[in-house]
């Protein structure tokens, strides 16, 4: 059986950046179920946040992040994020990421809930793509072994310690095992759980399912961020219309052409994402329409085309000139704030198992992610993972000092009644969107929980990538639904009409373990 000092599962910014760090200290294997460039990173348009501006500071970035997290951030983790951000940006510059500049200085823009312009971007609205291309090129140059079209199907854990991973070659069907000193999950999120989402097809909750089955703690799964503005056109897949479009002055209008955000929030279009997403839903309901519009026609055309070349080109390819036409948008699932519970060194409760990126829950985002903190989180905590492995004192500790309520995922039946269809990706996506989406209530959550539990019982043993992905989606969907049922309040991205307010009784985290 082949042995590596480090095994990385996933090839987005989290997997690639961590691999480059690890490569300096030992042998590295990257396992990815698609090819090296299949990930959510390249869809990240807005940019990456860091307090590097003249009138900015780590303290201000810390305060904005804490405010966005709505009472559930891990304060220590947020402090680390803000303090280490400038050095991690320097790492990307040294690796060759071509951030946009003005007069020789890195250009900074504003996004919702940031008190200062601190969003770096590359190629206008192609930041994630530039970072992904730069890192994948560096990984190839480093000689790191990359196994493409290779799906991780089981984490190998013995006596409480991760020792490796079992894989399925998606082309040949062969099964292999690889051993390692440190196993790092960087598999991304689970946006494919929802009918409308901005994620890559690979985002099927694989890492959550793998870790949960292996005995890792999973936390904060009720907090799933829905991006307020994804392109909504018949026959066109949802395409992200970046937060930065509103940051640059884009106005939200209903189908009657009226600007509506000031009716819902004093910050207008720059209110927190959850507020904007819900406001758009309410406005769609009021006007009986399937979308609202974002309007940038008042901006100089050259500003729009140079600042948002990808968005401009994508819309133009579908018959829409955004310099002259209103852009039809509606919310879509975007980012998973919960995940595998880790401490500030990326350690899980299993010795030798780490997690980074969207699959991990460092506690930085709390109940609601501040825009553009996700890629920064990857850089800061991935570096810390490699530091920790170098110290040789991996104890498998989960995050300290946070109140939590531990639950086991049971096979219990809920009160929800629904004619049971067969388990399929489309049926899962429709169920989650309708019952566990932006606005929730007990009846809908009960129905979803009952249906998902039954579907899980109907699934045969997976044999190929599609069947593993369906199983992973259903398990991850159950964790989100059960967590949303347990949390009887509204906080951050989790909104329940039957419990529409904050409650001090819920100033803690919901954690699941396999039981």
Question: Could you tell me the domains of the chain?
Answer: 1-223+337-403 (3.50.50.60), 231-333 (3.90.700.10), 404-513 (1.20.58.100)
- Distances from the Cα of 50 to the Cα of 61, 119, 411, angstroms: 8, 7, 44
pLDDT (tens digit, 9 = 90+) per residue, 75-109?
A: 999 999 999 999 999 999 999 999 999 999 999 98
Mean residue pLDDT across the chain: 93
> Of the ranges 31-35, 121-125, 387-391, 429-433, which one carries the lowest mean pLDDT score?
121-125
pLDDT at 128: 85
Cα–Cα dist 308/328, whole Å: 16
Q: Which residues in 280-289 are b (16+ Cβ under 10 Å) and which e?
A: bbebbeeeeb
Q: How confident is the model at residue 405 (pLDDT cuts 50, 70, 90)?
A: confident
Instruction: Reply yes or no on whether the pLDDT at 375 is more than 60.
Output: yes
Phi-psi region at 361: left, alpha or beta (left = phi > 0; alpha = psi -120 to 50): beta
Instruction: Reply yes or no on whether the pLDDT at 417 is more than 60.
Output: no
> Of the ranges 20-24, 45-49, 53-57, which one carries the lowest mean pLDDT score?
45-49
Q: What is the mean pLDDT of residues 8-31?
A: 96
Cα–Cα dist 12/31, whole Å: 11
Active site residue 465: no
Catalytic residue, chosen from 23, 79, 232, 273, is 273
> Of the ranges 74-78, 131-135, 431-435, which one carries the lowest mean pLDDT score?
131-135
Q: How confident is the model at residue 124 (pLDDT cuts 50, 70, 90)?
A: confident
Cα–Cα dist 483/497, whole Å: 16
Q: Are the CB atoms for 337 and 190 separated by under 8 Å?
A: no
pLDDT > 70 fraction of the chain, expressed in percent and rounded = 94
pLDDT (tens digit, 9 = 90+) per residue, 233-246?
A: 999 988 999 888 99
Q: What is the mean pLDDT of residues 270-279?
A: 90
Q: How confident is the model at residue 400 (pLDDT cuts 50, 70, 90)?
A: very low
Phi first, then psi, for residue 509 (nearest 5°) are: -105, 145
Q: How confident is the model at residue 482 (pLDDT cuts 50, 70, 90)?
A: very high
Q: Are the CB atoms for 483 and 222 separated by under 8 Å?
A: yes
Spell out the residues 6+ positions from residue 222 whose beta carbon is closer than 8 angstroms to its own.
Answer: 338, 480, 483, 484, 486, 487, 494, 510
> Of the ranges 163-167, 247-251, 418-422, which one carries the lowest mean pLDDT score?
418-422
């Amino acid at each position: 059986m082949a042995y590596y000092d480090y095994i990385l599962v996933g090839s987005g910014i989290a997997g690639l950046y961590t691999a480059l760090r690890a490569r300096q200290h030992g042998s590295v294997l990257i396992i990815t179920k698609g090819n090296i460039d299949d990930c959510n990173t390249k869809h990240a348009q807005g940019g990456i946040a860091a307090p590097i501006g003249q009138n900015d500071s780590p303290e201000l970035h810390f305060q904005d992040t804490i405010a966005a997290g709505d009472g559930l951030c891990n304060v220590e983790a947020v402090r680390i994020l803000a303090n280490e951000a400038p050095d991690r940006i320097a790492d990307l510059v040294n690796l060759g990421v071509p951030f946009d500049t003005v007069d020789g200085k890195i250009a900074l823009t504003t996004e919702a809930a940031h008190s200062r312009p601190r969003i770096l971007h590359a190629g206008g609205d192609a930041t994630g793509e530039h970072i992904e291309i730069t890192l994948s090129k560096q990984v190839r140059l480093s000689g790191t072994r990359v196994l493409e079209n290779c799906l991780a199907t089981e984490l190998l854990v013995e006596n409480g310690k991760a020792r490796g991973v079992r894989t399925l070659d998606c082309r040949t069907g062969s099964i292999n095992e690889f051993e390692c000193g440190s196993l790092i999950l960087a598999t991304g999120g689970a946006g494919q759980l929802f009918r409308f989402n901005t994620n890559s097809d690979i985002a099927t909750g694989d890492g959550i399912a793998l870790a949960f089955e292996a005995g890792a703690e999973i936390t904060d799964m009720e907090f799933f961020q829905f991006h307020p503005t994804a392109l909504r056109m018949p026959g066109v897949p949802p395409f992200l219309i970046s937060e930065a479009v509103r940051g640059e002055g884009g106005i939200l209008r209903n189908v009657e052409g009226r600007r509506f955000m000031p009716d819902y929030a004093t910050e207008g279009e720059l209110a927190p994402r959850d507020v904007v997403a819900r406001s758009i839903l309410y406005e769609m309901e009021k006007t009986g329409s399937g979308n609202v519009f974002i309007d940038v026609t008042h901006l100089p055309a050259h500003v729009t085309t140079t600042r948002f070349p990808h968005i401009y080109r994508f819309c133009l390819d579908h018959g829409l000139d955004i310099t002259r036409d209103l852009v039809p948008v509606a919310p879509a699932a975007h980012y998973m704030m919960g995940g595998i519970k880790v401490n500030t060194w990326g350690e899980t409760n299993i010795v030798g198992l780490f997690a980074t990126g969207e699959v991990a829950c460092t506690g930085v985002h709390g109940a609601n992610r501040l825009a553009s903190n996700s890629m920064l989180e990857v850089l800061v905590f991935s570096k810390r993972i490699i530091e920790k492995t170098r110290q040789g004192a991996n104890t498998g500790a989960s995050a300290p000092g946070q109140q939590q309520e531990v639950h086991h995922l049971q096979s219990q039946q809920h009160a929800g009644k629904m004619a049971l269809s067969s388990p399929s990706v489309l049926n899962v996506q429709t169920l989650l969107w309708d019952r566990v989406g932006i606005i929730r209530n007990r009846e809908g959550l009960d129905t979803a929980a009952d249906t998902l539990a039954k579907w899980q019982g109907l699934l045969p043993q997976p044999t190929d990538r599609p069947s593993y992905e369906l199983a992973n989606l259903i398990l991850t969907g159950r964790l989100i639904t059960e967590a949303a049922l347990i949390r009887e309040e509204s906080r951050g991205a989790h909104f329940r009409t039957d419990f529409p307010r904050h409650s001090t009784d819920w100033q803690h985290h919901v954690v699941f373990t396999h039981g």
